[in-house]
Amino acid sequence: MTEVPRKLTVSGLVALLQEVVETNFVTVTVEGEISNFAAPASGHWYFTLKDSGSQLRGVMFRSRNRLVESPPRDGMQVVCSGTVTVYAARGEMQLVVDSLTCGGQGQLQAAFEALKERLVAEGLFAVERKQPLPTFPQSVGIVTSATGAAIHDILNIMQRRAPDVRLLLKPVRVQGDGAAEEIAKAIEELNQYGGLDVLIVGRGGGSLEDLWAFNEEVVARAIAASEVPVISAVGHETDFTIADMVADLRAPTPSAAAELVAKNRQELEAHLDHLIIRLQSRIDQSLSLVAERLTGFEGRLKLISRDFTDLPENIADLEQRLSLAMSARMRQYVDRLGMTAGRLDALSPLLQLDRGYVIASHEQGGSGLVSAEKLEPGDRLWLRFSHGQARTRVEDVDS
């Protein structure tokens, strides 16, 4: 056993721990649940191996994991064999895995799938029950931690893209015992508060157990019962929770949720800018057309002004021509009237009276008689001569 000096450096203490661990645990076989699994471009696998009470960092290098048929997933129960060591750079104990065998789903993953199936059967994930987001939200409620990165990301984006939107934060714990109940209660209280157009419920990324509060049934039912549309923004883009499935809209991150809320406003501003440009173009075209017409009218007015300069001479000429035309037309009318009067005189019965004829009528000035059939002896008649009239009586009738 190496003797421990009185005062150690950090590196010295870690080296001693590394010696103790690697000496006593040459090869171990451990069963646990995979969490925080990552497979970067290097080809190595990094993950956390955990059970209900503890967790241990694990690594499986590319030279060893290529023998595994398929990569494990978060929540999967596995059996790992390898060596225990201390990672000196961080002073953390880790399991360097040589072989990995999948043993089925972990407890959390199994609970996730069971609740998911039950809520699907109840119709809580149905598309037809989801509410549409308001076009231009004015008030947004936020359910998240007051100290986490999520609220800072949301505030930064909203202040930049929609500074006039009112934000109301309901701070809650987002992981640990009682977190799910706090989240559900916050959703209910913001519904009772009133005046909110949309809710953002979420947190930053983490392991399956870190996000587990958003997989609890109490949170799912609070989201489903919300009268205000809910955007779920839990974890990173690859994380997916029960809250995401129940919510009216899922955002891959809290930042994306803020962008969704502010998106319509920016689209409206862009559309208004486009309309302003089109309107300005139409106005410019109309003004150009009016200017062309005014130029044309100006040219025509100049021509008309020349005509007005010669107008007195033109009027005198027109008056003379009108007078001559009227005189000629009057002579025509007088000649025609004389001819018509002569024809009327020739046809007038009065002209016959000058030749010794008379007009007989029953009344003075009445219509002349043309037949004796209606006369009887003793009838009184008026006789009209060329000069004067006389009263007479019928003595005898020869029809």
Describe the strand order of the beta sheet including 139-144 as a list of residue ranges: 166-171, 139-144, 198-203, 230-234, 249-250
Give, in order, the Cα–Cα distances in Å from 268 to each of 119, 133, 140, 159, 184: 37, 15, 19, 17, 34
Query: What pLDDT score does 221 carry?
Result: 94
Residue 249 tokens, joined: 């809209």
Q: Residue 362 phi/psi, 5° resolution? A: -70, -30
Cβ-contact 50, 33 below 8 angstroms = yes
Over residues 318-339, the pLDDT tens digits come to 888 888 888 888 888 888 888 8
Query: What pLDDT score does 349 carry?
Result: 66
Q: What is the mean pLDDT of residues 14-25?
A: 81
Q: Residue 373 phi/psi, 5° resolution? A: -65, -30
Query: What pLDDT score does 151 carry?
Result: 93
SS3 state at 155: helix
Kindly give, in sequence order, each residue whose CB lies less than 8 Å from that of residue 386, ignoring residues fewer than 6 positions away.
350, 353, 354
Q: First CA to last CA across the chain, in angstroms?
A: 183
The whole-angstrom separation of Cα 354 and Cα 142 is 127
* pLDDT higher than 60, residue 2: no
Backbone Cα Rg of the chain: 58
* pLDDT higher than 90, residue 344: no
Over residues 5-14, the pLDDT tens digits come to 568 888 888 8
DSSP bridge pairs for 79: 31, 101
**pTM over cut 0.85:** no
Over residues 60-109, the pLDDT tens digits come to 999 999 888 788 888 888 889 999 988 888 888 899 999 998 765 567 77
Q: What is the mean pLDDT of residues 161-171?
A: 91
Choice between 194 and 346, residue whose per-residue pLDDT is larger:
194
Residue 311 tokens, joined: 């107008």
Query: What pLDDT score does 309 carry?
Result: 66
**Ordered domains of the chain (ranges, CATH):** 10-105 (2.40.50.140), 136-262 (3.40.50.2300), 352-393 (no CATH)
DSSP bridge pairs for 382: 361, 391
The whole-angstrom separation of Cα 57 and Cα 24 is 18
